[in-house]
Amino acid sequence: MKLKYGIIGTGALGGFYGGMLAHAGNDVHFLFHRDYDFVCKNGLKVDSVLGDFILENVNAYNDTKEMPKCDVVLVCLKTTNNNKLKELLPPLLHSKTIVILVQNGLNIERDLSVSFPNLSIAGALAFICSNKKSPGHVVHLDYGKITIGEFQNVDQNILNQICSDFNKAKIPAEISPNLKESRWKKLVWNIPYNGLCVVLNTTTEKLMGNPKTYILVRDLMFEVIRAAEACGVHIDKGFVQKMLDSTRLMKPYAPSMKLDFDFKRPLEIHAIYSAPLEEAKKNGFDMAKVNMLEKELFFIQNSYL
């Protein structure tokens, strides 16, 4: 059986993952917003370290009501738009559709399940450097692995087939046996780098090159690990050094929140900061530094939004 894919939010992530799947011959249907007219006329351009291509004749839509029912829906929106899912998703759903939130942050699947209690829901972590350069033009700079984990009612066979489709499309994909753990591990990176790059208006490279902020990044990572522990997720302390080292080896890269800040878009403060803070607090742990970072980010966002 060939799976029908729906991509909700065709930006840096959706454009790349959906584009790669379509380029490999999968049946992919894309929801566009501002780029709709441009893509209908010019196609979707993907510049990737894996090879550049232009996808002509894109199955492009600007309204989910026009889209077919899909077997797999990849939600690649910013979490700041997740309040729209209640309206966007229903036209795409049949009784076995799996919805995968390819997003950062914590408890976003839980929030979705409140509106869709019986839906098959998974979460995915994208380990990728990619940006949307201009309308209908995505640039993939480095990495690309996607990790998918069940939240509720997921058919393992479909999950396996999705991974297989990704792999055939040259995207390393794996199944996480523990979505909660995967999300916390991603936060170990996201929390320090996203926030500090915005607050200090800088890059990961400069944060790592300054001995004071190097320590601050490390301390924030340890704080996240202690919070995860309080929430029942054990992450080995050695993971911190691994993250620090791999970030130092990364090409200079602006985290997604820094790009949102530069383009004066809403920041994903709730999913990446407030939700983990709340979860940790509920379990008796106060992330003092993360709390401060959250409040600094709210102040900064408030100054332009």
Work out how close the CB of 29 gets to its own copies at its nearest, in angstroms, rounded to a whole number. Answer: 40
Beta bridge pairs of residue 137: 45, 134
**One of 94, 234, 248, 295 touching its own copies (CB under 8 A):** 295
Q: Which is nearer to its own copies, 101 or 196 (CB)?
A: 196
Applying CB under 8 A, the span of 26-34, 180-188, 248-256, 297-305 interacting with its own copies comes to 297-305
- Residue 268 phi/psi, 5-degree rounding, is -80, 55
210 binds its own copies (CB under 8 A): yes
Does residue 96 have an active-site annotation? no
- List helix spans (H) across 93-231: 108-115, 156-168, 179-199, 204-209, 211-230
Out of 132, 186, 237, 258, which one is annotated catalytic? 186
Q: Which is nearer to its own copies, 34 or 212 (CB)?
A: 212
**One of 40, 199, 230, 259 touching its own copies (CB under 8 A):** 199
Strand 53-55 with 44-48, pairing: antiparallel
Picking from 149, 156, 175, 170, the residue whose alpha carbon sits closest to that of residue 22 is 170
**One of 1, 212, 263, 305 touching its own copies (CB under 8 A):** 212
Q: Which is nearer to its own copies, 160 or 288 (CB)?
A: 288
d(CA 90, CA 73): 11
Tell me how crowded residue 112 is: count the other CB atoms within 10 A of its CB. 22
Question: What DSSP character marks residue 270?
Answer: I
DSSP strands (E only) in the chain: 4-8, 27-31, 44-48, 53-55, 60-61, 70-75, 93-102, 120-134, 137-152, 173-176
Picking from 16, 23, 24, the residue whose alpha carbon sits closest to that of residue 49 is 16
Q: Using DSSP, state whether 284 is helix, strand or coil.
A: coil
Work out how close the CB of 242 gets to its own copies at its nearest, in angstroms, rounded to a whole number. Answer: 22
Q: Which is nearer to its own copies, 27 or 286 (CB)?
A: 286
**One of 114, 238, 302, 305 touching its own copies (CB under 8 A):** 302
**One of 81, 202, 203, 247 touching its own copies (CB under 8 A):** 202
**One of 108, 128, 139, 207 touching its own copies (CB under 8 A):** 207
Work out how close the CB of 295 gets to its own copies at its nearest, in angstroms, rounded to a whole number. Answer: 4
Pattern of binders to its own copies over 178-197, x per CB under 8 A? ------------------x-
Helix (H) / strand (E) containing 260: helix 256-262
Applying CB under 8 A, the span of 55-63, 160-168, 251-259, 296-304 interacting with its own copies comes to 296-304
Token code pair at residue 227: 């919070």
Tell me how crowded residue 304 is: count the other CB atoms within 10 A of its CB. 9
Question: At how many degrees (to 10) do helices 179-199 and 275-282 cross?
Answer: 120
Contact positions with its own copies (CB under 8 A) in 235-294: 288-289, 291-294
Applying CB under 8 A, the span of 118-126, 138-146, 200-208, 232-240 interacting with its own copies comes to 200-208
Which residues are catalytic, by number? 186
Task: Name the residues that contact its own copies, by CB under 8 A.
Answer: 196, 199-200, 202, 207, 210, 212-213, 215-216, 219-220, 223, 288-289, 291-296, 298-300, 302-303
